[in-house]
Chain A
Amino acid sequence: MTDKTKDRAIINAEESREYLTFTLGDEEYGMDILNVQEIRGYDAVTKIANSPDFIKGVINMRGVIVPIIDMRLKFHLGDAEYNQFTVVIILNIVGRVVGMVVDGVSDVVALKPDQIRPAPEFGAILDTAYIDGLATLDERMVIVVDIEKLMSSGEMGLMDQIQSGAV
């Protein structure tokens, strides 16, 4: 983990990084594109009993069993509809593969470190603890999320074994 952060710092100093932006409710978020494995549509999931409602279940992704989380349910963003436009971002977080349902995927943007400003305490959907900063693109504001931190947090209940170590 520390190694990774160090690497990132070195890259940061020199060049811009690419971010995948997605929308949740009215807000636009960005996350490090290196954590994205692929983007796919929403398939039928196998429900997992006695799990929180935002964990939709698991899918078979080419032989790998991947849990699917609906961020819209997690953050209570109105109705979560599942149709052919529903998008799942497959993330690779510290070696684990997790699918994340969002409202939409909009763009891939390059951001230089100095474009990302520290986030003030504000009422975003996500807790500030998981937010790296804010960036402005044209007229839009992009909230840059530390997706690794978010997904491995105890709040998501995704990873029971590494929870104690990572958080």
Chain B
Amino acid sequence: MTIDMSQFYQVFFEEAAEHLAQMESLLLELDVETADKEMLNAIFRAAHSIKGGAGTFGFSDMAQVTHVLETLLDRLRKQELKPTTAMVDAFLDAGDVLKAQLAAHQEGDTFEDPSIAQVCAVLQQLAHGDAASPLAVTPPPPPPPVARTKPEVAADSAGAGPVDHDEGETAPVCWRIEIDRNLAGEALATSLDGLVEVLSEKGTLEQLSGEEETTLCWHLTTAVDRSEILDTLDFVCDEAAVKLVPVASVPADDTETGEDPGYGFFAPPTEEPVASNDENDEGYGFFTDAPGATQAMDQEHPGYGLYGGAPGMEQVAAQVARQQQEADQGFGFFEDAPGGPASEQAPSSGAAPPVNVPPAGGGPRQPPPRRPPAGDTSIRVSVEKVDQLINLVGELVITHAMMAESISMLDPVTHQSIFNGLSNLERNSRDLQQAVMSIRMMPISFVFNRFPRVVRDTASALSKKVNLKLMGEDTELDKGLIERLADPLNHLVRNSIDHGIESPAQRQAAGKPEAGQIVLRASHQGGNIVVEVSDDGAGLNREKLLAKAMEKGVPLPENPSNKDVWHLIFAPGFSTADTVTDISGRGVGMDVVRRNIEEMNGRVEIDSELGQGTRIVIRLPLTLAILDGMSVRMHDEIFILPLTAIRESVRPRREQVKTVSGKGRVFQVGEEYLPLVELRRIFSQDAAHLPVEDGIVVIVDTGEGRAALLVDELMAQHQVVIKSLETNYRKVDGVSGATIMGDGRVALILDVDELMKINRRLNPSTAPTMVQESGT
């Protein structure tokens, strides 16, 4: 029976990606000076699980890379080598290669790149580097078959782990298969006959238990290896319900004794002399790859390998825990035992159960803390489905508003039940809306988590020292925003490192700590998400910026405020960097940042103090689908003005409006003159001209500075569901979208930046000197 592995590929891809991510974050956390053994172990496990999975699914290229990676890691965790920054770099590079390979496999491709060989070479060199040094502990030699003191050990080894070798086809071995009916579930009952048939094909099957017993028991004498049997069983019942042990080694249902001989066998001191220094590395490689070892590992760490989940069920949990500890200890013992003179004593006690052997590495190792499996608590749903749900709930809210409006003319006393029902409906639909919106919400750590790596790489490329501090990673915001936030943040962080943080020497001269600090902070503020990127670097240089602005011919107000000057850095093509590097300096980044943020209805603010640092604050709405807006009236039409754009509103006086060269008009607020944008002129040229003092002026922030928008009336504040006009129509100038109001009518959402442009078209001579222009 051949098993189509491809159906499990997706599981492997997801698992491997998780392991890679875990490995990377652990590597970044790793402090080279005081490497935590537990951490090294965790990294090793992640690498090992990837290798196991890759081997099982035949992605040999990935298995190869992880293997080399593992070899070095293994020496690290055994403290034969001291971790160095170079190693961490090599590991990270290897992680990148693996990611690329994984991505390629996911598309049914293979990743061919010289970088693979390069990374492997570096890793191998690092692993070899110290192998010759006298400090290095002699690794265990390849276990020659002669050493197999007991036949069952051979059986155990023959049950090759995920990385299969020819050993799988060794002499027939008798396996004891036990299936717990209670754990196996329904599927077993229906497919029992089939199972028996399939097993019989593999070898001689002997049934030991009756049909009715809770534990089904067979003896299977076969040449196929353990994983193949497990695969077969996997189809009929949960792996957790299966117990598969070589018969001879397991007298009863006591699995732990099965492990012991396996360890004991490495121990006999007679093995010692066989190990010569020359063989060391090869022997090592072989050893890690040795089927017995791999399998043992898999059993030790349920939940890590693909098949590792086996012993995780409740019934045997206690047993497993014990077994694991023993195994861990045993492992420790046999890792360190066969070389170092210090542990010379250990092998002599070879035959003793590992429990009694004091682990060479110190106190007994605790099993690593497990995170609860995420699979039980979350499901993967396509974004489309969620969006559809959000749309429908939006409709529900609108329908409710329409109903509320139409019953408002009824007499509340005689129709009390309708009113009550409707207010219930309102509450429920609002709750529903919030609940549905929260599905799309994700913690911002999804973006933040990539920055430790970005900072590390960028800083080392520029030979600067930078510490990154993340705050408020749990702040939730819309998934769509998260994806679109990644790029701008990347730019900002790289900019901070390149332009903000000074070189260590400069910093010392300025009396600052050598390592700069970058803080990424996210928080909720009102209905907004605030993301802050701040550094304690040099800060923005006003004079330099002004000089550059003069040079580039960027128009500026007479006496530019600091804010005006800081905003210069968002102008396209504006860069104060003296040299263009591959990190920044082309003057494109900040322009893109501003554009991206504004596309999300957000705003960027800059705060800077020369010599103290720079703080860039991004304000974003919670979600892309709902907008906080103010409804304004123009003639008999209602428009929505996004709240993020609104600064203030003023009741205008006639004398505040000044005419410039007989055409354009400006509005005076305090000392400033803002261009006056008349909504009526833009949206219905034929409508009667509105006397300024009858309307109301809303001061809005636009990409080109502030402007005064003249509307007939401010109506109310709403949360509106944004709808696209382009779905069935086309882009309309001055309008970013549409929404449906409580009465069922459509209201257009104004785009203040575009209004400014239209206004300029209508009044070509509006003096631009009055406003700050960013040169667009």
Contacts and interface: CB of A to CB of B under 8 A. Distances in A.
Interface of A: 44-51, 57-60, 62-67, 96-98, 157-161
Contacts of A48: 729, 732, 735, 748
Contacts of B637: 46-47
A46 B728 contact: no
B745 A44 contact: yes
Contact of A65 (B391, B394, B729, B731): B729
A110 to B, nearest CB: 29
A64 B637 CA distance: 19
Interface in B715-769: 723-735, 738, 740, 744-748
B684 interface: yes
Nearest to B723: A65
Interface residues of B, number: 28
A65 B727 CA distance: 8
B738 A58 contact: yes
12 contacts: A46-B748, A47-B684, A49-B735, A60-B744, A60-B746, A63-B394, A63-B723, A64-B727, A64-B728, A65-B725, A67-B729, A161-B726
B683 interface: yes
Among all A-B residue pairs, the 7 with the closest Cβ atoms = A49-B683, A160-B730, A46-B746, A67-B729, A63-B395, A60-B740, A97-B728
Contacts of A59: 746
A127 to B, nearest CB: 21
A96 B728 contact: yes
A105 B747 CA distance: 29
Given A66-B728, A159-B729, 4 more contacts: A44-B745, A46-B745, A46-B747, A63-B391
Contacts of B395: 62-63
Contact of A50 (B725, B733, B738): B733
Nearest to A47: B637
B398 interface: yes
B171 interface: no
B682 interface: yes
Contacts of A58: 725, 729, 738, 746
Kindly name the residue among A46, A49, A98, A158 whose own CB sees the greatest number of chain B CB atoms within 10 A.
A49
Contacts of A65: 723-725, 727-729, 738, 740, 746
Nearest to A49: B683
Contact of B740 (A49, A57, A63): A63
Contacts of B723: 63, 65
B755 to A, nearest CB: 11
Contacts of A161: 726, 730
Given A65-B723, A97-B728, A49 B738 contact: no
Contacts, number: 72
Contacts of B732: 48-51
A44 B745 CA distance: 8
A49 B730 contact: no
Contacts of B745: 44, 46, 60
Contacts of B733: 49-50
Contacts of B725: 58, 65
Contacts of B728: 64-67, 96-98
A160 B728 CA distance: 10
A160 B29 CA distance: 52
A48 B684 CA distance: 9
A67 B734 CA distance: 17
Interface in B673-710: 682-684
A25 to B, nearest CB: 26
A135 to B, nearest CB: 30
A50 B726 CA distance: 16
A120 to B, nearest CB: 34
A49 B734 contact: yes
B752 to A, nearest CB: 15
Contacts of A60: 398, 740, 744-746
Contact of B729 (A44, A63, A158): A158
B731 to A, nearest CB: 6
Nearest to A93: B728
A51 B398 CA distance: 27
Nearest to B737: A65
B727 A160 contact: no
Contacts of B683: 47, 49-50
A164 to B, nearest CB: 13
B19 to A, nearest CB: 42
Nearest to A51: B732
A45 B725 CA distance: 14
A63 B398 contact: yes
Nearest to B636: A47
A159 B725 CA distance: 11
Given A46-B745, A59-B746, A62-B395, A96 B730 contact: no
A163 B732 CA distance: 16
B77 to A, nearest CB: 57
A48 B683 CA distance: 8
Kindly name the residue among A48, A159, A161 whose own CB sees the greatest number of chain B CB atoms within 10 A.
A48
A49 B746 contact: no
Kindly name the residue among A44, A46, A51, A57 whose own CB sees the greatest number of chain B CB atoms within 10 A.
A46
A29 to B, nearest CB: 22
A160 B703 CA distance: 26
Contacts of A49: 682-684, 732-735
Interface string B477-502: 00000000000000000000000000
B746 A96 contact: no
Contacts of A157: 730
A132 to B, nearest CB: 24
B71 to A, nearest CB: 55
B726 to A, nearest CB: 7
